[in-house]
């Protein structure tokens, strides 16, 4: 599970994408310098057909450092380790931002960062399927700005695919907050194959002397927050077929898409609950559910720690895959 953007600040994102940052403040080491730490430990039970499995893991360990030595100059770096996904700390983000002041309203960003393609405003323990498909981390150069409730972002990047050359890829996003508590947004990516759902698979094909075409992606979302209630929804998918061929000439063509609707209610300062319905089409039918629904409950233990319990039931668009029951208990510490 990648919750890395819990430490990245809202300036990376568009509109409601700031929900991924959770308005992180961190520890102030010195004037203009802050440190943040996120640790998520999870225990999970999964049943698929007659097969059962249990697991416990450090789902996320991330350390982020932010520095703003003067107005209009900001830098951030974050290191991430996820048990089972890597054997060492990974540079999750490292970027510089210039501008965003009254004298220079536009902001120039450069470095390794999460592109604002998709908002991924998940309200449960698990990330929504939209994130599994579209989350994109790249070394990019971008320009962004805000004006009368609108936020715009556009950037160029080379890409993580092994056949990427020069700054030939692009991403763009537009967010709008017409009234307080409501954010709408759209975003586009020149190649959905750069997203988390397929980049590793396409690189395996390319390493085996296969070929892979590009397919543009797009997303649309909204986030509504009214008092104790929150409602988030998003659709993300390919605008055209994503196609690749292996060295033997066998061709695969899919048009993956995913969506989710989350709703949450805070009973008081300590207890809250959330529900989700989500689905996918032509997105790794043996791994990702075609339909999935569930609920989660959270208890705020103190100012830094949250205990969450979640249950998800998923069905698959694959005759070889049985229905799945997935229960997760998570303890998260953030400061």
Q: What is the pLDDT of residues 39-86, one digit of tens each?
A: 999 999 999 989 999 999 999 999 999 999 999 999 999 999 999 876
The proportion of the chain whose per-residue pLDDT surpasses 90, expressed as a percent, equals: 83
pTM over 0.85: yes
Question: Half-sphere exposure of residue 193, counting CA atoms within 13 Å on the CB side?
Answer: 27
User: What's the rounded mean pLDDT across residues 183-211?
Assistant: 96
Domain ranges across the chain: 4-334
Task: Name the burial class of residue 56, with classes exposed (0-12), middle (13-18) and buried (19+) by CB atoms within 10 angstroms of its CB.
Answer: exposed
Confidence tier at 8 by pLDDT (50, 70, 90): very low
Tokens encoding 319:
């005759």
What number of residues does the chain have?
335
What is the Cα 298 distance to its own chain's centre? 20
Query: pLDDT tier at 270 (50, 70, 90 boundaries)?
Result: very high
How many whole angstroms from its chain centre is CA 29?
28
Percent of all residues in the chain with a pLDDT value above 70, rounded to a whole number: 92
Q: Please, what is the Cα angle at 206 between 205 and 212, to 5 degrees? A: 80
Phi–psi pair at 106, nearest 5 degrees? -75, 150
Q: Please check the confidence at residue 13 and state whether its pLDDT lies above 90.
A: no
Q: Could you identify the residue written with the tokens 């799945």?
A: 324
69: tokens are: 């030595």
Closest listed residue to residue 83, CA positions, set 130, 43, 124: 43
Q: Which two tokens stand for residue 299?
A: 């208890």
The fold of 4-334 is Porin (2.40.160)
Spatial CA neighbour of 18 closest among 235, 175, 131, 187: 175
Handedness of CA 134, 131, 231, 19 (dihedral sign): negative
Residue 227, C-beta contacts closer than 8 angstroms, at least 6 positions apart:
none
d(CA 332, CA 334): 7
Nearest Cα neighbor of 333 from 301, 310, 298 is 301
- Cβ atoms within 10 A of the Cβ of 45, count? 14
């Amino acid at each position: 599970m990648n919750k890395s953007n819990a430490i990245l600040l809202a300036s990376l994102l568009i509109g409601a994408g700031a929900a991924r940052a959770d308005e992180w403040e961190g520890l102030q080491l010195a004037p203009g310098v802050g440190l943040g730490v996120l640790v998520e430990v999870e225990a999970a039970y999964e049943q698929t057909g007659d097969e059962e499995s249990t697991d416990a893991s450090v789902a996320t360990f991330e350390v982020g450092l932010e520095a703003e030595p003067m107005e209009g100059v900001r830098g951030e770096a974050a290191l991430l380790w996820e048990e089972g996904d890597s054997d060492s700390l990974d540079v999750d983000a490292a970027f510089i931002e210039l501008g965003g002041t009254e004298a220079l309203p536009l902001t120039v960003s450069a470095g390794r960062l999460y592109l604002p393609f998709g908002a991924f405003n998940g309200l449960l323990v698990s990330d929504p399927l939209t994130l599994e498909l579209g989350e994109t981390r790249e070394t990019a150069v971008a320009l962004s700005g805000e004006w009368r409730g609108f936020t715009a972002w556009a950037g160029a990047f080379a890409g993580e695919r092994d056949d990427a050359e020069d700054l030939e890829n692009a991403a763009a996003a537009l967010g709008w907050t017409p009234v307080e508590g409501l954010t709408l947004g759209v975003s586009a990516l020149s190649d959905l194959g750069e997203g988390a759902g397929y980049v590793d698979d396409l690189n395996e094909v390319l390493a085996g002397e296969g070929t892979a075409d590009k397919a543009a992606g797009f997303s649309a979302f909204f986030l509504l927050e009214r008092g104790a209630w929150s409602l988030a929804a998003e659709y993300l998918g390919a605008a055209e077929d994503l196609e690749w061929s292996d060295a033997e000439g066998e061709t695969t063509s899919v048009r993956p898409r995913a969506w989710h609707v989350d709703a949450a209610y805070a009973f008081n300062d300590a207890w809250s609950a959330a529900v989700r319905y989500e689905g996918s089409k032509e997105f790794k039918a043996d791994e990702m559910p075609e339909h999935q629904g569930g609920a989660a409950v959270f208890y705020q233990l103190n100012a830094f720690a949250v205990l969450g319990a979640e249950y998800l039931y998923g069905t698959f668009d694959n005759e070889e895959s049985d229905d799945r029951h997935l229960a997760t208990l998570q303890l998260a510490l953030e400061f």
